């Protein structure tokens, strides 16, 4: 195979990676323009997706097709040879796909612009280092790299976070004071003016972003838009205010829905018109490099890429095809929904299960804000404070949420319109002033600031949601660091490993993508299964609660019996692999039990008012199930550690004693399931006292072995620990039986 054919294959790989990057990239950046519409449920899913898809296609046609990264001048291509730069582009694309796919798999939003910039920087620095090591006549590092650009990007990140969060919080606070949570009553008085400001800002945003990239606009037209900014805003405001006032007067249509729809279109258009080239710009630059090299007739390692120093035009057909791919991805990508779900959950109005835990930093922040809030309350006149609090009364919103059930929005249209409007204004100003603000950072932080000001981060949720925000922000910096590092390493591998390294890395990347796809599908399936169970009914009566609890108990009891039995078998044969697999299974079962506990409020809230005892019954049963699973997990973990540390195996008689005890526990489990499914009380095939007595005798036998020195310390720690946790399982199972029988037969929910 000649060198030209190999380069053709690499160019083909770059285009395949471009398609993959488009799919993966839009799955992550969809969070920018979908969350406000999806979170507020302004329209149904298909309408929102259609408007977003049209925005993407419109943005693609507005794009001038100039390669964004070349325009930013991260590196100086005229100082690199074709044989070097093709490896640089390949390293960038592979890193980008890996990084974005990783974030998508775990549902974390990040900036595609920052990832591509730091990948180019890392790969370029890698090549520069290689050239400086091997070429005695090398140039200075600054001749290869525009290091000032990286610093500008980092400052842009910090600026984005502060400006967007503060602006979102400020605008949302005043908007809520103006409209309250019963905005429908206020909209007829202020709606036209407020909506006119919002839509005119969004419309100007469309013009600014569109004019910046539109190839059909002359320079004079772009300057005219810039010079007449205030006139355009004034005219647009007047027109939209008039239109909205007519809508309010003669229709029942909610004008905030129109604002959300226009804003969704605008941000989708901005994403497509600007960020789209981040995904296809590098492969097209690689293609342009290849054609220039072929036309030159010069050897690949002697042809300098001077042609890339300017702007690299992108054919319109490529942009349209890319836009279609991205629009289709919106409809079919489950990973896109995972990323949007993260931000919606962090900003939802109501309490519930929180994905993120607490951290020392988040707790400190909450304490500072809490003290600041108390101080402000103390200096404000009581009447003013009371009046402001009344503007944030959520009782009407909560009643609507309860009535809608699973169809309830995460937040209302006031906040959705604020997020889109403020994001559009900030990005427009940044574009106008040529400030390097990221669309992802702006929209996310505006949404979080609005959530804070809207009272979504109460004392019950604040630490968890602030931890989530810090996790996302940390992920942004992780993006930059990882992008730089991985691209840097790949360039070294490609340069010294040549084409053999390229194909080897391609196989590894393909395998990683396959594994993350499988992992995401498993996570999604588990999440969907839980949602299906919880959303099976909108309300629960006594019999529904009993049936739901029995289903959960059956799954957990059956899982525990099988896992512990297999673990003891693995212990008898010292089969670490089998024990490890069972430990993974018990961890999953433990997560299931934790999830049941975390979602108690959601289930109890669905229980009919005349069946309140059912709430207590369900909550106590879930608590006992959680303790039973925890004890089972402790048994498996102890065995796993014992075998993993290569300690001596248990005696055959000890294994048999554990098997016999487990058999009796399994009989207890099975009897509970059979009798509860039949609707009757548990028939005491083996009483709790008998089981406890069996376990007590096992402990005494072990004490005798210790006294006779027939077993060692580690043996005793393991055996006595297993027996102790088995006793916990028996005790909590007995309590579970007691409350179940009491509730089913006597209608009460208190233990005897």
Check residue 520 and give its pLDDT: 66
If you average pLDDT over every residue of the chain, what do you get?
78
Same structural domain, 127 and 246:
yes
Residue 299 has φ and ψ, to the nearest 5°, of -60, 145
Check residue 71 and give its pLDDT: 45
Check residue 29 and give its pLDDT: 64
Residue 633, token pair as written in the block: 């997990």
Q: Which of 527, 562, 583 is the last residue of a domain?
A: 527
DSSP 560-628: HHHHHHHHHHHHHHT-HHHHHHHHHHHHHHHHHHHHHHHTHHHHHHHB-GGGHHHHHHHHHHHHHHHHH
**Is 751 inside any structural domain?**
no
**Is 544 inside any structural domain?**
yes
Check residue 314 and give its pLDDT: 62
pLDDT at 485 over 80: yes
DSSP state of 96: H
Render pLDDT for 212-251 as a digit per residue (tens, 0 to 9): 555 556 677 777 777 777 888 888 889 888 988 888 888 8
**Is 535 inside any structural domain?**
no
- What is the rounded distance in angstroms from the CA atom of residue 43 to the CA atom of residue 52? 12
Q: Give the predicted TM-score (pTM) of the model.
A: 0.69
CA-atom Rg of the chain in angstroms: 31
Other Cβ atoms closer than 10 A to 242: 12
pLDDT at 714 over 50: yes
Render pLDDT for 433-443 as a digit per residue (tens, 0 to 9): 655 567 777 88
Same structural domain, 398 and 547:
no
Rounded mean pLDDT, 603-613: 72
**96-100, 283-287, 348-352, 724-728: least confidently modelled range:** 348-352
Same structural domain, 44 and 17:
yes
Give percent above pLDDT 90 in the chain.
9
pLDDT at 61 over 90: no
Check residue 405 and give its pLDDT: 64
**Is 460 inside any structural domain?**
yes
Give the closest residue to 437 by CA, choosing from 164, 72, 120, 34.
164
Same structural domain, 576 and 444:
no
Residue 410 has φ and ψ, to the nearest 5°, of -75, -30
Give percent above pLDDT 70 in the chain.
77
pLDDT at 663 over 70: yes
Residue 654, token pair as written in the block: 């000890």
Check residue 632 and give its pLDDT: 93
Task: Report residue 190's pLDDT band, with 50, 70 and 90 as the boundaries.
Answer: confident
Same structural domain, 584 and 495:
no
Q: How many domains does the chain have?
A: 2
Same structural domain, 452 and 481:
yes
Alpha helices in 434-461 (DSSP H): 439-453
**Is 752 inside any structural domain?**
no
For helices 276-296 and 112-134, angle between their N-to-C axes, nearest 10 degrees:
30
Rounded mean pLDDT, 324-336: 71
- What is the rounded distance in angstroms from the CA atom of residue 275 to the CA atom of residue 63? 10
Same structural domain, 520 and 548:
no
**Is 658 inside any structural domain?**
yes
CATH number of domain containing 602: 1.20.58.220
- What is the rounded distance in angstroms from the CA atom of residue 189 to the CA atom of residue 22? 44
Same structural domain, 618 and 710:
yes
- What is the rounded distance in angstroms from the CA atom of residue 571 to the CA atom of residue 579? 7
**Is 117 inside any structural domain?**
yes
**Is 532 inside any structural domain?**
no
The three state secondary structure string of 292-356 is HHHHHCCCCCCCECHHHHCCCECCHHHHHHHHHHHHHHHHHCHHHHHHHHHHHHHHCCCCCCCCC
- What is the rounded distance in angstroms from the CA atom of residue 686 to the CA atom of residue 664? 8
Task: Report residue 680's pLDDT band, with 50, 70 and 90 as the boundaries.
Answer: low
Same structural domain, 370 and 428:
yes
Distance of CA 603 to the CA centre of its chain: 24
Domain span at 321? 3-527
Check residue 725 and give its pLDDT: 92
Same structural domain, 704 and 598:
yes
- What is the rounded distance in angstroms from the CA atom of residue 236 to the CA atom of residue 238? 5
574: left (phi over 0), alpha (psi -120 to 50) or beta: left
Task: Report residue 66's pLDDT band, with 50, 70 and 90 as the boundaries.
Answer: very low
Beta carbons of 186 and 227 less than 8 angstroms apart: no
Same structural domain, 610 and 476:
no
Q: Which of 496, 527, 558 is the last residue of a domain?
A: 527
Render pLDDT for 364-391 as a digit per residue (tens, 0 to 9): 766 776 676 666 667 767 777 677 777 7
**103-112, 213-222, 556-565: least confidently modelled range:** 213-222
Same structural domain, 517 and 549:
no
Check residue 579 and give its pLDDT: 92
Rounded mean pLDDT, 534-553: 71
Report the sign of the C-alpha dihedral through residues 30, 36, 37, 40, in that order.
positive
Residue whose structure tokens are 């109460």: 458
């Amino acid at each position: 195979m000649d060198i030209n054919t190999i380069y053709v294959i690499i160019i083909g790989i770059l285009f395949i990676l471009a398609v993959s990057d488009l799919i993966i990239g839009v799955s992550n950046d969809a969070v920018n323009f979908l969350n406000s519409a999806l979170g507020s449920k302004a329209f149904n899913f298909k309408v929102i997706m259609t408007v977003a898809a049209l925005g993407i296609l419109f943005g693609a046609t507005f794009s001038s097709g100039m390669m964004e990264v070349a325009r930013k001048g991260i590196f100086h291509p005229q100082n690199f040879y074709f044989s070097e730069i093709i490896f640089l582009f390949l390293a960038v694309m592979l890193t980008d796909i890996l990084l974005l796919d990783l974030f998508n798999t775990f549902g974390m939003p990040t900036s595609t612009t920052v990832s591509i910039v730091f990948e180019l920087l890392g790969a370029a620095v890698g090549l520069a280092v290689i050239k400086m090591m091997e070429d005695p006549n090398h140039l200075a590092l600054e001749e290869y790299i525009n290091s000032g650009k990286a610093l500008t990007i980092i400052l842009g990140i910090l600026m984005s976070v502060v400006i967007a969060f503060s602006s979102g919080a400020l605008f949302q606070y005043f908007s809520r004071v103006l409209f309250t949570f019963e905005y429908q009553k206020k909209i007829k008085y202020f709606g036209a003016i407020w909506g006119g400001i919002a839509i005119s800002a969004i419309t100007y945003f469309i013009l600014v972003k569109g004019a910046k990239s539109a190839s059909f606009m002359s320079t004079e037209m772009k300057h005219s838009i810039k010079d007449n900014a205030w006139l355009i805003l004034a005219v647009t405001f007047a027109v939209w205010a008039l239109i909205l006032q007519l809508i309010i007067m003669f229709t029942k249509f909610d004008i905030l829905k129109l604002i959300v729809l226009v804003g969704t279109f605008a941000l989708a258009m901005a994403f497509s018109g600007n960020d789209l080239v981040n995904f296809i710009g590098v492969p097209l630059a690689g293609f342009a490099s290849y054609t220039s090299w072929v036309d030159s007739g010069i050897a690949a390692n002697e042809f300098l890429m001077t042609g890339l120093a300017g702007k690299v035009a992108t054919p319109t057909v490529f942009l349209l095809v890319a836009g279609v791919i991205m629009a289709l991805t919106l409809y079919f990508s489950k990973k896109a929904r995972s990323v949007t779900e993260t931000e919606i959950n962090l900003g939802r109005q109501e309490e519930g299960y929180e994905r993120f835990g607490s951290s020392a930093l988040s707790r400190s922040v909450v304490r500072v804000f809490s003290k600041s809030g108390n101080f402000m309350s103390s200096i404000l006149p009581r009447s003013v404070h009371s009046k402001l609090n009344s503007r944030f009364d959520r009782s009407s919103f909560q009643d609507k949420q309860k009535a809608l059930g699973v169809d309830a929005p995460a937040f209302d249209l006031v906040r959705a319109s604020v997020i889109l409007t403020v994001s559009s204004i900030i990005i427009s100003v940044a574009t106008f002033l040529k400030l390097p603000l990221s669309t992802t950072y702006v929209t996310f932080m505006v949404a979080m600031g609005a959530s804070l000001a809207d009272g979504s981060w109460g004392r019950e949720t604040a630490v968890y949601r602030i931890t989530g925000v810090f996790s996302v922000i940390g992920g942004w910096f992780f993006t930059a660091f990882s992008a730089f590092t991985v691209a840097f390493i790949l360039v070294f591998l490609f340069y010294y490993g040549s084409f053999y390294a390229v194909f080897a890395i391609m196989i590894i990347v393909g395998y990683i993508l396959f594994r993350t796809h499988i992992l995401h599908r498993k996570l999604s399936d588990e999440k969907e299964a839980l949602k299906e169970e919880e959303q099976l009914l909108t309300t629960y009566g006594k019999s529904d609660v009993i049936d739901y609890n029995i289903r959960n108990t059956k799954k957990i009891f059956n899982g525990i019996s099988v896992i512990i039995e297999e673990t003891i078998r693995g212990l008898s044969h010292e089969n670490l692999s089998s024990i490890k697999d069972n430990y993974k299974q018990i961890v999953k079962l433990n997560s299931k039990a934790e999830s049941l506990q975390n979602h108690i409020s959601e289930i109890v809230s669905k229980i009919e008012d005349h069946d309140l005892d059912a709430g207590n019954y369900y909550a106590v049963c879930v608590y006992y199930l959680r303790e039973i699973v925890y004890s089972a997990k402790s048994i498996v973990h102890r065995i796993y550690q014992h075998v993993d540390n290569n300690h001596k195996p248990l005696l055959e008689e000890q294994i048999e004693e554990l098997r016999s005890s487990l058999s009796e526990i399994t009989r207890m489990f099975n009897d509970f399931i059979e009798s509860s499914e039949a609707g009757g009380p548990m028939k005491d095939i083996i009483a709790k006292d008998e089981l406890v007595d069996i376990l007590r005798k096992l402990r005494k036998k072990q004490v005798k072995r210790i006294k006779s020195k027939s077993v060692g310390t580690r043996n005793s720690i393991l055996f006595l620990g297993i027996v102790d946790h088995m006793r916990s399982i028996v005790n909590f199972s007995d309590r579970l039986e007691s409350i179940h029988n009491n509730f089913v037969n006597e209608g009460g929910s208190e233990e005897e």
